[in-house]
Amino acid sequence: MDEIRGDTFAEGSSTLPIDKTLPSLEHQPPRPTSPTLCSTEHNFLESPTDPSPGGIAAQLRRFCSYSRTMQASHLMERYTALVKEDPHMYRAAESLLSTLSYLATNRVPIEIIELLYMSSNLLRYVNDRILSGKGGSSDRDELEADRDRLEQMLQVLQCVEVFVELSARRLGGSPLKWLVVAALAAVKISIRLCLIYQHNRILIGSFGMNDAPKGWVGPRSGIFFKQSHPNSNIPYHIPNKDLVLAELCYTLRPIIHLTALGLFKSKSWIPFTLALGLDVFSLKSLQKIQHPTDRQTNELSRRKLALLLYLFRSPFYNQITEHRLTPFLDYVSRIPIVGLFTDGITDYLPDWQKIYSYVWGS
């Protein structure tokens, strides 16, 4: 563009008097921009010619998802601090949910009862991990962190399997129920096999889900102090082949029983006898373990008590136990106050018999 100068205004002329030279637009410096604004525009306000799918809508969805994640993380941090400051509060919440599940027996659908009980177990699991200091894995090696993740998955499955089974039966009837039961058993077996062969674990059980962290509360400060056990940190020794075989029998028992149940039906004694034989052989072999940890001792005792469940497992229950238990409960129900509990047992027992995860779960 040519330079335009002028000192006077000529009549009839369209030229204005200009004292300075107008710079060429081609040499104007670029307008400074804010890096924050540019990055924001680049991330969330894509240009119309951006070939990436989704455009502005996809970016907004990612932003909302990130915001929800941050809010959940903040809420979890606040809840963790609350549990550590007042451990009695979380025990009260667990007891409340558990008590409601028992009081609601025969008054609401069984799915609601199990939802309350599942919530109580999940709350106990989360709070126990907070108090035991197992929330993070930054100070542990990769192998230990992987083992902890597997144990967490198994614990969560143990918490939710009953409710999932009941929901499947409600939505799809008996076929969907057995499909879900088989899928849950397969997942649990896979996790247990990984713990056995990759982490040398035997006597894999509930991992102290129902055990409160041992300790005491300061009378003035109200702070919960954990009490360590003498052998709680003793590393697991590599088990010999007999112990591994015994744990395999216990681990594979659910899928073996389900297979036999599909072949011979529930009234046959073959699935019952196979499962009982595997459990008895596993227990007799696992009793030979030397220097068991506290967790292994508790799990061994739990499995011994679980043998009593065979009294309530078909066909033993239908042919033997039921004919003796029902008259006894009817007689006890005549006793004041005691009858309130026996009536609840009598009403709930038929529904309990139909839940595979309760009767045959491991």
Angstrom distance (rounded) from CA 188 to CA 205: 11
Angstrom distance (rounded) from CA 340 to CA 205: 33
CB atoms within 10 A of CB 259: 13
User: What are the residues whose beta carbons fall under 8 Å from the beta carbon of 121, sequence distance 6 or more?
Assistant: 158, 159, 209
Angstrom distance (rounded) from CA 1 to CA 14: 17
> pLDDT at position 57, please?
62
Question: 230 preceded by cis ω (within 30°)?
Answer: no
Angstrom distance (rounded) from CA 63 to CA 159: 33
Angstrom distance (rounded) from CA 355 to CA 349: 10
> pLDDT at position 237, please?
56
Q: How confident is the model at residue 103 (pLDDT cuts 50, 70, 90)?
A: confident
In tens, the pLDDT along 135-179 reads 554 445 788 888 888 988 998 898 899 999 999 999 999 999 999
DSSP-assigned states of every residue in 84-136: HH-HHHHHHHHHHHHHHHHHTTTTS-HHHHHHHHHHHHHHHHHHHHHHHT-S-
3-state SS assignment for residue 255: helix
101-110, 134-143, 248-257, 273-282: range with lowest mean pLDDT: 134-143
Q: Contact at 8 Å (CB) between 286 and 203?
A: yes
Angstrom distance (rounded) from CA 23 to CA 27: 7
Return the higher-pLDDT residue of 41 and 360: 360
pLDDT beyond 70 at 38: no
In tens, the pLDDT along 26-36 reads 455 555 444 44
User: What are the residues whose beta carbons fall under 8 Å from the beta carbon of 348, sequence distance 6 or more?
Assistant: 105, 106
